[in-house]
Amino acid sequence: MDVDMNGKNSVKRLVSVIAVLALLSSCLFGCSFFGEEEGESLLSVHFIDVGQGDCELVISPSGETMLIDAGKTEAGDEVVSYISSLGISEIDIFVASHYHEDHIGGSHDVFEAFEIEEALILDCEVTTSCARKLIEDIEKEKCDVSYAKRGYEFDLGDARVLTMSPEKISDKGGNNDSIVLRVEYKSSRYLFTGDAEEAVEREMLDFYSQKELSCDLLKLGHHGSSTSSSQEFLDTCAPNIAVISCGEGNSYGHPHKETLEKMKKTVKSLYRTDVDGDIVITTDGHKFYLESTQKSA
Ligand SMILES: [Zn+2]
């Protein structure tokens, strides 16, 4: 009898512990939100872990998709399988932030695998083989083409996207020509900066007001390099959340120590694809939720 009672108590205790753990994990990862707010309109951004490179998939509440970059060439397969696993077969807009291989190398596989409606690219002469390949793929796909220029705006479902840079091509399609996009949904804002460095941040600070640059989430420029993320830019954007896209043990030493030091005093939450793997951050237009991070072994 005593043994039975103890057994029951142990089971009860175990159930309580599991319940508390489940509650804790749902609070940490925002799952309780999704449970409670079923049917709520959410915008999600997937920072896909492509190693040393960039790749962000934005999905509007009504399902429109924008893929910003596709990582380097060898990451192409992974990008395709990640997007396919979400049940997506069509990409509404593919953005090539600039013409470096760690951003557009994987785009060939993406163009092979999905129907692409529109490409947003830089209006400049292409000189590298990966850029030439991208232009060939765009021509083959016969998709619409838009050229990025400061002030160019478009809708992604209920979200509004503003091109904040470049004002003009000055870096032959390199880092400082990066297409900088601000995605706004209700009162929430994400800022995607490609590999834009301090000079571009300066230009944006000169052109835009603090109100226009302020954002909730900042995808840090140039993989967390110290050549981007100037203190003034960070203070003006004043994000609560920052994401760095870079590869584990990369040869550039990204993210640089200086950047990480700045982030400690600038943001509440910092996520890194080299540490966290794929990162999914959603918003209902007001609050942000970390849906998941998945670092594979
Ligand atoms: Zn890069």
pLDDT digits (tens, 9 = 90+) for 19-28: 434 333 433 4
Residue 163: phi, psi to the nearest 5?
A: -85, 115
In this prediction, residues 71-75 reach a mean pLDDT of 98
Q: Is the pLDDT of residue 264 over 60?
A: yes
The Cα–Cα gap between 141 and 190 comes to: 29
pLDDT of residue 293: 83
H or E, element range at 269: strand 269-272
Helices (H), 198-238: 198-207, 210-213, 231-237
pLDDT of residue 295: 78
* 218 CA → ligand 1 middle, Å: 16
* 196 CA → ligand 1 middle, Å: 9
Look at the block and give the residue holding tokens 């954007």.
237
pLDDT of residue 39: 56
* 221 CA → ligand 1 middle, Å: 8
* 252 CA → ligand 1 middle, Å: 11
Residues 66, 93 contacting (CB under 8 angstroms): yes
* 209 CA → ligand 1 middle, Å: 27
In this prediction, residues 142-152 reach a mean pLDDT of 98
Locate 75 and state its tokens: 């990451």
* 50 CA → ligand 1 middle, Å: 11
What are the sequence ranges of the domains in the chain?
Answer: 1-38, 40-71+147-294
For residue 49, give Cα distances in angstroms to 16, 64, 99: 36, 21, 19
Q: Which amino acid is at 106?
A: G
pLDDT of residue 292: 83
* 180 CA → ligand 1 middle, Å: 13
Look at the block and give the residue holding tokens 């039975």.
4
* 35 CA → ligand 1 middle, Å: 37
pLDDT of residue 198: 98
Render pLDDT for 99-133 as a digit per residue (tens, 0 to 9). Answer: 999 999 999 999 999 999 999 999 999 989 999 99
Length of the chain: 297
Residues 97, 196 contacting (CB under 8 angstroms): no
Q: For the domain with range 40-71+147-294, which CATH number is right: 3.30.420.280, 3.40.50.300, 3.40.1350.10, 3.60.15.10?
A: 3.60.15.10
Q: Is the pLDDT of residue 13 over 70?
A: no
Q: Could you tell me what percent of the chain has a pLDDT over 70?
A: 86
pLDDT of residue 51: 97
* 128 CA → ligand 1 middle, Å: 15
CB burial of 6-44 (b: ≥16 within 10 Å; e: otherwise) equals eeeeeeeeeeeeeeeeeeeeeeebbbebeeeeeeeebbb
In this prediction, residues 177-203 reach a mean pLDDT of 98
Render pLDDT for 219-229 as a digit per residue (tens, 0 to 9). Answer: 999 999 999 99
Nearest-10 Cα torsion for 269, 270, 275, 276: 50
Render pLDDT for 150-188 as a digit per residue (tens, 0 to 9). Answer: 999 999 999 999 999 999 999 999 999 999 999 999 999
